[in-house]
């Protein structure tokens, strides 16, 4: 049962629709297909969970995240975990 877990600083709640981001990521995961066209992740078991951290310290003040944007950070994390081949 695959889980994608997002831990983020709570200050993003006012700037991001985290529910929408989770839904979009879940839809992306269940749409992935292997080289034979089979689903990579089971529809019924795929979970995307996001947890805001009540306390945080961001070493660069968040500059790197602002430059790349939330989507860029998520894509980089996903590519690191699953390899660029998952994005075809």
Q: What is the pLDDT of residue 84?
A: 44
Mean confidence (pLDDT) of the chain: 76
**3-9/47-53 β-pairing:** parallel
13-72 tens-digit pLDDT: 888 888 988 898 888 888 888 889 998 888 888 999 999 998 888 777 777 766 665 554
Domains of the chain: 3-87 (3.30.429.10)
Going by C-alpha positions, the residue among 42, 52, 54, 61 that lies closest to residue 3 is 42
The structure tokens listed for 53 are: 């951290």
Predicted TM-score (pTM) above 0.75: no
Query: What is the dihedral sign for C-alpha 63, 86, 20, 3?
Result: negative
């Amino acid at each position: 049962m695959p889980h994608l877990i997002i831990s983020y600083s709570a200050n993003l709640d006012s700037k991001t629709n985290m529910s929408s981001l989770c839904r979009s990521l879940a839809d992306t995961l269940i749409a992935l297909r292997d080289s034979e066209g089979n689903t990579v992740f089971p529809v019924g078991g795929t979970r995307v969970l996001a947890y805001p951290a009540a306390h945080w310290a961001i070493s660069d003040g968040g500059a790197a995240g602002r430059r790349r944007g939330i989507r860029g950070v998520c894509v980089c994390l996903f590519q690191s975990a699953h390899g660029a081949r998952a994005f075809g």
